[in-house]
Amino acid sequence: MNKNNYVTKRYSESFKLKILSELSTGKYSKHDLTQQYGIYVPTINRWIKKYNRVDLMNKRVLVQEPDEVSKLQALQKEMEPLKKLLLKMNLEFQVKNCFRISMTQENHCYKNAVAERVNGILKNECVA
């Protein structure tokens, strides 16, 4: 026992491979193996990753109907001009409100270099 009063279990390589081979046959699920051998699902997942057996990992399947895909594509196409319009209006607003160079009272722009860099980038975007 370690200092937390927990028992640390160490499994042999052959045992780990045996679990993975039983899982790959399809006869047993991860849940079945955990009950049979007293191990946890995250432990099995670690072994799957360790031995690069991604075929045994749980898979997520996304089921979409053809009309859902077409609706999604139409919405994405509609969103592009809206993004460009928003960017254009934001830049026009910034130009109307005139950027001023931010300086300290002693007129040392290097003391405020980050703000100067951002202002420079925005000014270049407005001109372009």
Q: Kindly state the average pLDDT of the residues 1-13.
A: 76
Average pLDDT, the chain: 80
- Top-confidence residue, 14 or 105: 14
CB neighbour class for 23 (10 Å; exposed up to 12, middle 13-18, buried from 19): buried
Share of the chain above pLDDT 70, in %: 77
Give the tens place of pLDDT for each residue, 31-89.
999 999 999 999 999 999 999 988 888 777 677 788 888 888 888 899 999 988 888 88
pLDDT over 90 (residue 110): no
**Residue 128 pLDDT more than 80?**
no
Return d(Cα 53, Cα 50) in angstroms, integer.
8
DSSP label at residue 8: P
Res 7: pLDDT: 77
Nearest to 48 by CA among 66, 74, 22: 22
111 pLDDT band, cuts 50/70/90, is low
DSSP codes, 11-48: --HHHHHHHHHHHHHTSS-HHHHHHHHT--HHHHHHHH
The CA-based diameter of the chain, rounded to the nearest angstrom, is: 78
pTM of full prediction above 0.85: no
Q: What pLDDT was estimated at residue 18? A: 92
